[in-house]
């Protein structure tokens, strides 16, 4: 998050926090002073329009050429002085890669010719194909180096039998380049996901795990993935809704807070994680937040942004930097449920969802009904014939070749999605819901065309009959899946 200091809320800033808040403000104003001749007005009146005009001149590209006004506050881990101050030395971790029993290995990831320092530990069962493996990708906080998370990575890999990957943002650790705007971190994170997808790994097999500013970055990457049709999972840990909101709260709100918020937005650090969060289905996301967060002002948290600040399950009795997954970590929510259990439950749900098998006879009947519908595409009664009333097995009366083509296209869609569903050896709840949604869309389009062409659509229509019987089948499977889930929950409860 912002700074190495500890912030509470805009109303109760300590003298130390006020000093750091002033440092941020002065750094921004000094940047403007070196580039724009309107700073006298900016300093004296804090004129919002003047600052907005200044920002339009700066832009993200110009920002890359300027001294970093956020140095020491945003991503201090890329600052050499911070590395020296904390005593971080990557050589201290080399045994991870020289000891063949550690399980860690470096991986090659690049973006625009720049190396992104990355490594992984593989806890997958021996012999598992790459495309069948499950992956968790870490997104670190602003003052964390990837190698420092090795113990947590090993724990997750062993427990969930998956491959865990971590990397340093550009300019951090051994990663090349530098992080100047937030998009640099997002692009580096997406490069990790893209590498796996290019290897043939299904997006459903990937979970992004982010802490603090890393939670926002992971969420923004996940939002981008879902826009691209790559449904990864994401867990957001103790993060914010928008960085611009964080700055506003730290600067005390009001006019000064609004100015600071606008400036950081204009300089490429607005980080609207909330907008990305809203693009991700509930089934693919999870979050937790701290009850006593001393870094992120409460009003700026993601929990408040999504209206769940009173969620007792996800509100943890801890601070921003307390360890959640260490061997001796006992951070819990108000109900006493450990924080790590919330994460582990989400991973199990994504990686090992309950499945069921369709009854053999029922499957054969389903396949036979698909074949019967497929034959309707070439039925001669749908073609023009001399002196005969044109009839259709659809209980419709298409009178032109174009109408017959539209009908065939509907049937093609029915056959395609049904055949794919019938071919699955096992079903998850996601498989069933996805199939039900596809059928609903087809039925809607079929009805719409029939109404437009004034075809007499009846329940006796073979297509309507097929859709109805398939709907009954999926409802039975959904009910059976519900029973399976309850059984699984009870089993885990008994196992403790």
DSSP 174: T
How high is the pLDDT of residue 437? 85
How high is the pLDDT of residue 78? 87
How high is the pLDDT of residue 381? 36
Pairwise CA distance, residues 263 & 247, whole Å:
10
Cα 164 to its chain centre, rounded Å, is 16
**What kind and span of H or E run contains 296?**
none
Pairwise CA distance, residues 210 & 137, whole Å:
8
How high is the pLDDT of residue 244? 92
How high is the pLDDT of residue 203? 94
**Domains along the chain?**
76-351 (3.40.50.1820), 360-495 (no CATH)
CB 290 within 8 A of CB 234: no
Pairwise CA distance, residues 137 & 112, whole Å:
20
How high is the pLDDT of residue 36? 43
Question: Alpha carbon of 73 to those of 28, 68, 78, 328: distances in Å?
Answer: 12, 10, 11, 30
**Of 139, 144, 208, nearest to 173 (Cα)?**
144
List b or e across 364-401, with b for residues whose CB sees 16 or more CB atoms inside 10 angstroms.
eebeebbeebbebbebeebeeeeeeebebbbbbbbeee
Contact residues for 178 (Cβ-Cβ < 8 A; gap 6+): 78, 170, 171, 184
How many C-alpha atoms does 56 have within 13 Å on its Cβ side? 7
CB 17 within 8 A of CB 25: no
CB 251 within 8 A of CB 299: no
Residues in a beta bridge with 313: none
Pairwise CA distance, residues 439 & 73, whole Å:
52
Pairwise CA distance, residues 75 & 169, whole Å:
9
* Angle ∠(3,29,80) on CA atoms, nearest 5: 40
Number of H helices, E strands in the chain: 17, 10
**Of 344, 183, 208, nearest to 280 (Cα)?**
208
Contact residues for 181 (Cβ-Cβ < 8 A; gap 6+): 60, 63, 64, 267, 268, 269
CB 339 within 8 A of CB 316: yes
Contact residues for 400 (Cβ-Cβ < 8 A; gap 6+): none
DSSP SS3 for 481: helix
Question: Alpha carbon of 235 to those of 166, 338, 350, 360: distances in Å?
Answer: 15, 16, 11, 38
**Largest alpha-carbon pair distance within the chain?**
95
DSSP letter for each residue of 348-382: HHHHS---B---HHHHHHHHHHHHHHHHGGG-GGG
Pairwise CA distance, residues 239 & 303, whole Å:
8
Pairwise CA distance, residues 119 & 105, whole Å:
6
Profile the chain (496 residues) by mean pLDDT over runs of 10 residues: 37 56 59 46 49 49 50 75 88 89 92 94 92 95 92 92 96 92 95 96 95 97 95 96 93 87 87 96 94 93 96 92 70 86 90 71 80 68 37 43 70 87 78 84 84 64 79 78 56 47
- Secondary structure string (H, E, C) spanning 48-68: HHHHHHHHHHHHHHHHCCCCC
């Amino acid at each position: 998050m912002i700074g190495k200091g500890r912030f509470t809320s805009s109303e109760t800033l300590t003298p130390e926090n006020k000093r750091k808040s002033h440092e941020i403000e002065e750094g921004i104003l000094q940047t403007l002073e070196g580039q724009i001749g309107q700073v006298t007005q900016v300093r004296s009146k804090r004129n919002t329009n003047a600052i907005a005009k200044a920002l339009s001149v700066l832009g993200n590209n110009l920002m890359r050429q300027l001294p970093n006004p956020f140095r020491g506050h945003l991503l201090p881990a890329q600052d050499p002085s911070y590395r020296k101050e904390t005593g971080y030395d990557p050589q201290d971790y080399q045994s991870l890669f020289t000891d063949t029993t550690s399980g860690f290995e470096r991986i090659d990831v690049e973006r625009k010719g720049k190396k992104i320092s990355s490594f992984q530990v593989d806890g997958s069962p021996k012999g598992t194909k790459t495309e069948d493996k499950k992956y968790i990708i870490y997104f670190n906080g602003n003052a964390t180096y990837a190698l420092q998370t090795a113990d947590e990575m090993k724990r997750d890999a062993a427990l969930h039998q998956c491959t865990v990957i971590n990397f340093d943002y550009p300019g951090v650790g051994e990663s090349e380049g530098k992080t100047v705007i937030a998009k640099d971190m997002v692009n580096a994170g997406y490069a990790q996901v893209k590498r796996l997808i290019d290897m043939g790994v299904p997006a459903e097999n990937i979970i992004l795990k982010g802490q603090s500013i890393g939670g926002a970055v992971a969420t923004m990457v996940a939002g981008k993935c879902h826009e691209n049709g790559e449904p990864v999972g994401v867990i957001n840990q103790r993060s914010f809704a928008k960085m611009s909101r964080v700055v506003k709260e730290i600067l005390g709100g009001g006019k000064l807070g609004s100015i600071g918020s606008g400036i950081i937005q204009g300089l490429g650090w607005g980080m609207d994680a909330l907008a990305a969060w809203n693009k991700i289905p509930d089934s693919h996301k999870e979050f937790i937040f701290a009850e006593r967060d001393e870094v992120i002002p409460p009003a700026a948290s993601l929990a408040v942004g999504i209206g769940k600040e009173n969620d007792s399950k996800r509100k943890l009795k801890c601070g921003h930097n307390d360890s959640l997954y260490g061997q001796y970590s006992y951070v819990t929510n108000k109900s006493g449920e450990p924080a790590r259990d919330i994460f582990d439950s989400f991973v199990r749900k994504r990686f090992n969802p309950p499945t069921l098998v369709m009854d053999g006879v029922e499957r054969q009947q389903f396949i036979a009904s698909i074949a019967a519908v497929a034959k309707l595409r070439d039925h001669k009664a749908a073609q023009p014939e001399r002196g005969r009333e044109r009839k259709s097995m659809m209980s419709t009366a298409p009178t032109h070749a174009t109408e017959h083509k539209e009908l065939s296209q509907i049937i093609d869609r029915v056959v395609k999605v049904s055949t794919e569903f019938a071919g699955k050896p096992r079903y998850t709840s996601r498989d069933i819901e996805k199939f039900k949604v596809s059928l609903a869309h087809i039925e809607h389009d079929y009805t719409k065309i029939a109404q437009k062409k004034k075809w007499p659509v009846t329940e006796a229509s073979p297509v309507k009959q097929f859709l109805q019987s398939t709907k009954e089948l999926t409802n039975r499977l959904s009910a059976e899946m519900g029973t399976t889930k309850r059984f699984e929950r009870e089993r885990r409860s008994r196992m403790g």
